Amino acid sequence: MGYRLRARVLLGLVALGALATVALSPTVAGAAGSRAKELVGTFKLAAGSCTGTTPTGTYFRMIFPGGTIAAGKFFDNADSTCTDTSYTLASPGTAGGLINGKYQPDPTPAFSASGGALASSIVKPQNFTAINFGIATNPTDPQTGLAVPAPVIKDKNGKLSGQVEAWSADWNNLHFNQGSPKPDGTTPGLTLPVSGTYNAKTHAFVLTWASAVVGGPFNGFTGYWHLQGTFKPAKS
């Protein structure tokens, strides 16, 4: 077999391989469909509500050291509008909620003169024992000083998972990392991974996680986060 002939055969095989790849691509995509897929867009938050027997929408609870997520003991927020003041309700912020894959950083300054949080993109600043608390996600976690990725939530057949390492609660001139996992990748204490549900048709979602407070005045406490609302896909 001459050199030119061998080269033509080789070229032909490469072309056949390329054709096969293109032809099989829907099958590959189908296989990927069973993998967790990052949702591109914003998790628009529904405001928390205590009108029913159990709170709905977006809310937060804080568990004392030694407690459990299910049974507490819970920290009571006198400013809560719920009968059970351990629920602190939240309302969507200027961005409507959590933008997946992007940071929603603290403004500068992050606090008012009285120590109230000024971050208002994810949720509206909310009174917590007379001082506003807010939520932000920064490239560098302000409490630990560690670099953290932007939150990423993925869907796999209606089950949500992901990471919110950058989730930071601001209150009283202090930052409390409330991410899961924590910025160093650990899940100390009662920290629970991000989990939830997603309805691909209605885009309704529920996201929950728990995060132990490490360091500072609330060291050993755990924050439990319940985000609920409707996912709004980004315009492509």
Footprint on this chain of other proteins (rule: CB under 8 A): 64-66, 75-79, 85, 114-115, 129-131, 172-174, 215-221
- Three-state DSSP state, 46: coil
Residue 63 Cβ vs other proteins, minimum distance, rounded to whole Å:
11
List, in sequence order, every residue forming a beta bridge with 38; answer none if it has no partner: 154
Please identify, using beta-carbon distances, which residue of 43 and 221 lies nearer to other proteins: 221
Please identify, using beta-carbon distances, which residue of 2 and 66 lies nearer to other proteins: 66
Please identify, using beta-carbon distances, which residue of 209 and 221 lies nearer to other proteins: 221
Instruction: Return phi, psi of residue 54, to 5°.
Output: -120, 145
Residue 74 Cβ vs other proteins, minimum distance, rounded to whole Å:
9
Residue 130 Cβ vs other proteins, minimum distance, rounded to whole Å:
6
CB 178 within 8 A of CB 143: no
Residue 117 Cβ vs other proteins, minimum distance, rounded to whole Å:
13
Rounded CA-CA distance 73/222 in Å is 10
Alpha carbon 60 to its chain's center: 13
Please identify, using beta-carbon distances, which residue of 38 and 184 lies nearer to other proteins: 184
Give me the DSSP letters along 52-96. SSS-BSSEEEEEEEEEETTTEEEPP-TT-SSSSTT-EE--B-TTS
Who's near 94: CB < 8 A, 6+ residues apart?
120, 121
Residue 77 Cβ vs other proteins, minimum distance, rounded to whole Å:
8
Residue 208 Cβ vs other proteins, minimum distance, rounded to whole Å:
23
Please identify, using beta-carbon distances, which residue of 171 and 198 lies nearer to other proteins: 171
Please identify, using beta-carbon distances, which residue of 193 and 220 lies nearer to other proteins: 220
Question: Would you say the C-alpha torsion 79, 82, 85, 90 has a positive or negative sign?
Answer: negative
